[in-house]
Amino acid sequence: MPRGIYVDEPFLSTDLTLSTAEPRRSFQIHPYPELLALGIMLIEIALCTPIEVFRQQDHFNTDGQPHANTDHLAARYIFDNEASSKSRRFDGYKRVQQAIEACLEADKFMPQTNDINALRTAIYRNIVTPLQVQHESWDEDSMRPVDINFPNTESRSATHSNSVHIVNYANPGLPEISSLRLSETSTRLPVARKNTASLTSVTWFDQFDKLDFVLRHKGGVGLDSSSRVRVAILDTGVDQDLRSTLAAYEDFTGSDLGASPGYTAHLTAALRLFLQVCDCAAVYVGRVFERPTAGERTADYMAKAIKHAVNEWEVDLIILPSGFQQTHEEMERAIEQANSENIVVFAAASNYGNLGGIAFPARLYIHEKVMCMFATNPAIRISHRFNPSPSERTKYSFAILGENIMISGPETLSGTSFSAVIAGGVAARILDFARQPDVRSHIRNVGRLKSFAGIKSIFIKMSKGTVVEQYHCIVPWKLLGPRASPNEDDADYRQRMRAYVRETISRELEEL
């Protein structure tokens, strides 16, 4: 790896596609050499020690020479070898350690290999943000400027500055909902608003990753195609570069405007978010919006798409990140058909507060025809700025993360549209867990899980103790139990928790 640090070159400008270069050995165990190099550089900075010091005898070729993976093995040795006192140097710097370990392992980035924007988001969430959080947690009073004189080289422009800048990020908060307008006929929930609030979904996903670690199939290997959870998301079009990640894409509008970025932003963001929550499902996308806002026939297209998802795609879950003011009978009949097939439908509540009430079809949740989703912030608090009040005609009004969600870059998005997507992703992750070979035979009444009542029972468990103002705020990682001890091995904890979650789901299903 290069021995210099180019502080004036952003790391994210590096080509992050999988390396196709011929390795110096018969295999290359890390598919992103640039990320590995960053992780090793951070280790050397943190420990004030070159990586070569940690090389072990089995990290070399038989002739005693280093190979392509030598420094990767040495870096892993620091964290994996319990006898290494060096790893304790990271005590108090857990965010730095988190960023380094993300660099050393490719698991968090492999699902986004074919989507550069999703890959950039994964890097920002797992590497950049932890380092930023660690930096912001330092006591500024104890910090002092350090003068560093970088040597001039022919490859560096003389106009580059060596000064260090401290960047302060603005925090304007959510926009005022009064700026939103309602259509007199039907309306789609507006594309979520951007802001740069400091507490983002990174905090929430840090906790969710603990559940994902337990539920994910061993080694990250997914189920065979016949067993995969099938999820339909019906909304706008989706960017062309994401089409390859889909099981199927269908345009129900017949319009030729779907390729325009302005007409695909809503579902593109939603799809990327869904894949952050559950990257193991087969995703089917239906375009039902000709334009970013609803037209006269949008509800008709939605009804047609729901029927197609039920009859042709044979999905397990349907996600509707949009809503309408007016009831649409054909759409309701399509949803009832989905209900009869035990297909759970998730719908966004609305982003207009009480100005328009709960949108259709989300308001059908009082009859248990859909799972209406309200929004919380990353701290599991209700988002008062855009949530409508829950209905008094039902006991359970579920809410999940829908505010300050980081999808691409430092800006964040908010809206119940994303709450519906995340809830659908959580449900898909639970269904996937229940279908894994070492799990399905151990969950009693497992067939009940694939139903409105089954998913509802799990959501009730996840929201126990977090009922706020009649909203049942879902905390997915409540399915987990505590560690046996602070020093419990991760592998032992995962195995024990998988059995724990199996039993928890079984008990909830027995109550139905």
- Give residue-wise pLDDT tens across range 448-464: 999 999 999 999 999 99
pLDDT digits 0-9 by tens, 250-286? 999 987 654 555 578 888 889 989 998 998 999 999 9
Question: Average pLDDT for residues 417-424, to the nearest whole number?
Answer: 98
Q: Where does the pLDDT of residue 116 fall: very low under 50, low under 70, confident under 90, or very high at 90 and above?
A: confident
The domains of the chain are located at 33-137, 201-511
Residue 408 pLDDT exceeds 50:
yes
> ∠ CA(313), CA(190), CA(231), 5° rounding?
15
**Mean pLDDT confidence for 366-388:** 95
- Terminal C-alpha separation, the chain: 58
At residue 458, the pLDDT reads 98
The pLDDT score that the predictor gives to residue 294 is: 85
Class of domain 201-511 (CATH, top level): alpha beta
pLDDT score, position 132: 73
CA gap 228, 20 in Å, rounded: 30
Q: Are strands 193-195 and 412-414 parallel, antiparallel or unpaired?
A: antiparallel
pLDDT at 144: 56
Question: Residue 379 has what pLDDT?
Answer: 93
Q: What is the pLDDT of residue 82?
A: 44
pLDDT of residue 309: 98
Q: Residue 321 — pLDDT band, cuts 50, 70, 90?
A: very high
Query: Which residue, among 47, 48, 51, 46, has the nearest Cα to 2 in the 3D structure?
Result: 51
**Residue 509: is its pLDDT beyond 60?**
yes
Write down the pLDDT at residue 234: 97
pLDDT for residue 193 is more than 50: no
Write down the pLDDT at residue 181: 30
What does the pLDDT read at residue 81?
A: 66
Contact by Cβ (8 Å): 388, 349: yes
| pLDDT surpassing 80 at residue 224 | no
Average pLDDT, the chain: 80
The closest of 419, 433, 239 to 319, measured between CA atoms, is: 419
Give percent of the chain above pLDDT 70.
75
Residue 485, amino acid:
S
User: Distance between CA atoms of 77 and 96, rounded to whole angstroms?
Assistant: 17
17-26, 212-221, 264-273: least confident range: 17-26
Query: Binning pLDDT at 50, 70 and 90, where does residue 363 land?
Result: very high
Position 88 scores a pLDDT of 53
- Assign 135 a pLDDT band (cuts: 50, 70, 90): confident
Q: Is the pLDDT of residue 346 over 90?
A: yes
At residue 140, the pLDDT reads 52
pLDDT at 400 over 90: yes
pLDDT band at 317 (very low <50, low <70, confident <90, very high): very high
Residue with more model confidence, 29 or 508: 508
Largest separation between any pair of C-alpha atoms in the chain: 77
Q: Give residue 479's pLDDT band: very low, low, confident or very high (50, 70, 90).
A: very high
Residue 390 in contact with residue 398, Cβ under 8 Å? no
Dump pLDDT digits (tens) for 153-188.
444 333 333 333 222 223 333 333 322 333 334 445
Question: Which token pair is 458?
Answer: 């799990």
| Per-residue pLDDT at 469 | 92
pLDDT value of residue 16: 44
| Among 117, 426, 443, residue whose Cα is nearest residue 278 | 426
Task: Give bridge partners of residue 455 from the DSSP assignment.
Answer: none
Average of pLDDT values for 370-390?
A: 95
pLDDT tens per residue, range 1-11: 443 333 333 33
Average pLDDT of span 108-132: 77
Indicate the pLDDT class of residue 306, thresholds 50, 70 and 90: very high
Contacts of 404 (CB under 8 A, 6+ apart): 195, 197, 199, 200, 201, 377, 378, 412, 414
> What is the arithmetic mean of pLDDT over 479-504?
94
